[in-house]
Amino acid sequence: MSTSATSQEALAASLQQTLSPNAQERKQAEQYLGSIEQTAHFVVPLLQLVNNEASSDNIRFAAALYFKNFVKRRWPQNEDTEDTLPAEDRQAVKSEIVSLMITVPKRLQLQIGEAVSIIAENDFPEQWPELISTLVSKLSATDYHVNNGILQTAHTVFREWRSAFRSDRLYTKINYVLGQFTDAYLQVFVTTDRLIDEHASNGAALKVLLHSLMLLCQIYYDLNCQDLPPFFEDNMGEFMKTFHKYLVYDNAVVAAASDDDDVPGDLEEVKASICEILELYAQRYEEEFAQLPQFVETVWNMLTTLGSGAKYDGVVSRAMAFLCTVVRNPRHRGLFAAGESLRLICERIIIPNTVMPTADEELLEDDPLQFVRRDVEGSEAGSRREAAAALVSALLDQFATETTHVISQYIQKDLERYAANPAANWRDKDIALFLVTSVAVVASVHSLGATRINSLVDVADFFRTQIVQHLRDVGSEASAPVLKVDAIKYVVTFRSQLPRDILAQVLPLMAAHLAHPDAVVSTYAAIAIERLLVLKHDGLLIFAPADIEPLAQGMLAHIFGVFDRADSPQRLAENEYLMKAVMRIVLATRTNILPLAPAALAKLAGILAEVAKNPSNPRFNHFMFEAVAALARFSCAADGGAIGQFEATLFPIFQSILQEDVLEFMPYLFQILAQLLSVHQGSGGLPEAYTGLLPPLLQPTLWASQGNIPALVRLLQSYLQIGGAQLAAGGQLQPILGVFQRLIASRANDHHGFALLLAITQFTPPEALKQYLKPILTLCLTRLQSSRTAKFTRNFVHYVASVMCLGARDGTGVGMFFDAMDSIQPGILATLLGNVLIEAMPTVIGRVERKAVIVGFSLMVVSAQFQSAPAYVPLTAPVLKQLAAMLMDTTVKETKSVAEKSTIDGSSAAVAAATAAAVATDEDLDSLEIETSGYQASYAKLATLGEITIDPCPHIADAAAGMTQILRPARAQLAPAIQQLPSQEQQFIAAALSS
């Protein structure tokens, strides 16, 4: 048996194990695969397994999924990541993957296609120039199964352009494709159209050919999404004629083959893709799009004839999106200006598409959480209701008064029908409430709801007359919970527009509805509460902690009651909206949560212990840990003695998580440990429990997981902050520096290494640091020489400056740094300064970081070691020039960017106590949005975990003042260097020293 075959057998067995219901088996298989994927040529048998028809479908799919994730992890190359994938493996993948896309089933194509997209994004065209010619060469005049694989691959590569920002590289790539692809594309397009006509009575052939046409339409959009290429402008007439043909195309054979009214057929997908192209051309290429009026009429007529089945939802949504684009353009105002036109578009297009689909009613009953998710987060294809609301909004742009008048008539009729028989006609009120929202909202954002409303609609009065009646009694609307949902959604939508008295009335009503037996109602109530508790007016929260405190116990009791009724870890963790509300209640109640903390902690700890058995919902898990962290943060801020209860309750669960190796929870566990440890600031050293935990935290196995690294570094920073001197005295700095050595060797993790190093430098006595400074700098210089990157250089400059800031008043840090560099090699520092450090000074990002650089290098330039050595004197002017440039640069970012900043910062001992005292107020957690606070699959930073900002010179508040204070006593010595500066920098320095 060949090595390849043996490898396939081993891979197949391991992949089969990853599907096992036994968690231990799955973990062992995942660990084995993780280890062998590091070996050369691993990817070849993996791809062969995907293509092996003798293997089971599940194994092939698992192999395709693993390959996709492997490519995500290992393929991208940049200066901040090591390239661990051999060149021959890269080439082997690129030589086989197109053929693979052609031959594998569609289910596997979707996984392989994502991998193709990643590879093309990184390699095409520079390292994969043959991609397009390979695709073109494999197109067939007769085999459309092959062609569909080729077209799917092409679309997979090209679709990334839809959301890409314009750049020279992007346009070079698009032009490269156009030069090689368009002639073959047109030939296939024309041939496909002809073959559809020739096979009009052959259902099997039409299915394949219409799928080809759909892919051709998607590629048409891809190739036109950034700009209108001359090729498509020259052939627009022929393309648009064909698009029009299929927009009105009808075939009894196709209709008979697509008898499922819920699933769109190939023809529906073709029409939806054509409407998408029409929308693009109406938005971007209106002047060239001479056929637009004809398409407006055709799309209008099509919308009035399409059925209500879910299979048509995509066509309807895209068609209405096209009409929206046309309506919003003032140049086409005349097409809709007549009163009759507005009435017809409302009557025949908007109103029919505002009815809640039967499928949604069934989903609300059968799968409440899926209903909520789809309603809150939207679906990829969009819904008819969303499209109808968008069309109303577009009409309001051009015809506000007329549209409001027409829609109001329909609203009034619906409300009258409901009033006549509320039990039977609840759907009429559902439509009315939807239309009110559609016509009232002019602009909105997720974080605030409606930010601008139609002045012709009184949303507060409508609340009083039509909404509050559905909220007063939790038990009302038993036969029509949809109306309760609508009422709650109305509050959420208009929360920024409703007056304070209504909001004060609403919050207790929402709290009561947390107890509603219908999961959709209680979940929407939780969403509403979460949104109301972050609502501000003139920068102040509408609901202060004192307003929330009387309701907090009841709200938490209702939510925890839902969790108590769950019969499995998966069911317990399925509703992230409820857990997000728990998090928000704790955050909003702040230190007033203290009386409720013991009970809340017990409930959260129980939930944590249960879901740790089988983590299934990452968002639920994240909100749960945020809630725990917030509860600990505010409880301990109110009563430092509360820390004991948190440690006693959480430590056994944490120990179990560590023993069971629950990888998903490790980063959270380390962050909460860091938070709990920080509470011991000022207690005289590290508590015994934490001291015993330190050696296991330094074991390489924990650091092998990328997701653990930021959290572990943050935890070690807390160790150093609380007991830096204690660790140094106990000889425990060396193993911590071993972690630094591991991190600094990695391009992906070197910034975490510097974050740890800064904490060591800041929180340990200088005399303890001194003995390690030489090996630290040697490691940095070695890395600088062997694998220098902009990120590493930036962090190294900041670290050097931070060292020089130590003992700023007596020059301790500068002396330590010069001595350490001279002990490595005499004279090496002058070379390092001239070739690396001085040039990189302005690249440092962040206000505190830049202050450290300015202060540190100012201290260096006036030091005796610098001024007395001939090798350094010529560097005085370049240093002063950079100091001036940094202070004159007003465009610099105040904080590090996400791409460059370690998510774990540190802080100075001088300000740590103040930080702890201000723990409840130093960060704006009022409007914390987890979606933007650093949540990722592998590592999610807890936003409620207070950061420690390391400031090596806290006694200097302002960088410019610090530079002046340091340089002024030496201005006579610096005068010759100042004279060498360019005029602007010379004037700046002279003015600073004379002020």
Q: How many other C-beta atoms can be found within 10 angstroms of the C-beta atom of residue 808?
A: 21
Which residues are registered as beta bridge partners of 536?
541
- Output the pTM of the full model: 0.89
The per-residue b/e assignment along 63-93, b for 16 or more CB within 10 angstroms, e otherwise, is bbbbbbebbebbbeeeebeeeebeeebbeeb
- Phi/psi at 423 (5° precision): -65, -40
Is beta strand 441-445 parallel, antiparallel or unpaired with respect to 449-453?
A: antiparallel
- In this structure, the number of other CB atoms found within 10 A of the CB of residue 636 comes to 26
C-alpha 805/C-alpha 856 separation (Å) is 5
- Joined together, the tokens standing for residue 455 give 């002045």
Tokens representing residue 119 in the block: 């590879």
Query: Could you give the count of Cα atoms lying within 13 Å of 390 in the half-sphere of its Cβ?
Result: 17
pLDDT-flagged residues of the chain (< 70): 1-6, 80, 339, 379-381, 892-924, 926-938
Q: State both tokens at 279.
A: 């929308």
CB 662 within 8 A of CB 617: no
Pairing of strands 536-537, 449-453: unpaired
Dihedral sign for Cα 773, 775, 781, 787, please: negative
Joined tokens for residue 86? 């051999």
Exposed (0-12), middle (13-18) or buried (19+): which is 262, by Cβ within 10 Å?
exposed
Contact 984, 837 (CB under 8 A): no
d(CA 41, CA 48): 12
Please name which of 854, 774, 780 lies closest in space to residue 818, comparing C-alpha atoms.
Answer: 774
Show Cβ contacts of residue 1 under 8 Å, excluding neighbours closer than 6 positions.
none
Give the model confidence (pLDDT) of 389-402 as tens digits.
999 999 999 999 99
**Cβ atoms 900, 845 nearer than 8 A:** yes
Q: Among all chains, which residue has been given the structure tokens 């393309």?
A: 239
Q: Which residue has the tokens 């208009």?
A: 494
Cα 605 to chain centroid distance, Å, stands at: 28
Residues contacting 644, CB < 8 A, separation 6+: none
Among candidate residues 930, 926, 927, the one with its CA nearest the CA of residue 577: 930
Describe the chain by its helix, strand, coil percentages, rounded to 5.
70, 0, 25
Please report the pLDDT score of residue 929 as a whole number.
64
Residue 938: per-residue pLDDT = 63
CA–CA gap between residue 707 and residue 936 (Å, rounded): 9
**Cα–Cα nearest to 768, from 722, 732, 814:** 732
Angle formed at CA 826 by CA 823 and CA 830, multiple of 5 degrees = 115
Paired strand residues for 537: 540
CB atoms within 10 A of CB 374: 14
Residue-level pLDDT at 811: 84
DSSP codes of every residue in 721-744: HHHHHHHHHTT-HHHHHHHHHHHH
The pLDDT assigned to 900 comes to 44
Q: What pLDDT does 917 receive?
A: 32
- What pLDDT is recorded for position 657? 96
Residue 412 neighbours by CB distance under 10 Å = 11
DSSP for residue 164: P
